[in-house]
Structure 1
Amino acid sequence: TYREIKAPTVVISGDRDKVVYAAIHSAGLERDIPGAELVWVHNLGHKPDWIAPGLVVDAIEKVSGAPIDLQAMAKAVEGRIAGDAQGAGRCAELKVPDAELAPG
């Protein structure tokens, strides 16, 4: 089970992810893995490694023992992607995701 995971764990997720649900996946992992850190990025979709590769690298460094403030890094990413509508309104098949994907 997830509760048996002992490795340092960082979960990066965002409120525009249309693939996984926060309550089950990102917030669920933070809840179920002892000591896990959830890094929540507003306006981030399903590919944090593509949109915020620096944040992902910093998360890897943090679980390796580096003293990195991932929450501050997430705020910087939020500022950079704040105006990105991810195609909503420009491409017929892309809509703004439902808010229930975000953690409560």
Structure 2
Amino acid sequence: MSPGIAMCFAMTSGILTSITLETVVLKFSKASRMPWKAAFKTATGMSMISMLTMEAVENGVDYHLMGWGNVDIYNPVFWKAIGWSALAGWSAPLPFNYWNLKRHGKACH
């Protein structure tokens, strides 16, 4: 499988997982108790740019550190790459999120 196609699958999977989790949290949290439709609409509209940025950066860092080969889960390189990928994915959308919160004067959750 080509790196581009694999990255597309990985990003799609990550975004769908995030939207699903946010929808469930918005539906069942005591603070919001939204109907399913409203929870889904809120989850998809809240942070799509952040999610795309996070997924792209995580996949890029992962590819840079491990290449396109299969690395065994017991290999320390695997866990090092996961740690750096997660840190980079968390850090990448921070400026956009900070700007968005300042612009609207509130948090999204």
TM-score range, shorter chain: 0.3 to 0.5
Question: Of Structure 1 and Structure 2, which has the larger fraction of its residues in helix?
Answer: 2
Question: Of Structure 1 and Structure 2, which has the larger fraction of its residues in strand?
Answer: 1
When normalised by structure 2's length, the TM-score is: 0.32
Higher relative contact order at CA 8 Å, sep ≥6: structure 1 or structure 2? Answer: 1
Larger Rg: 2
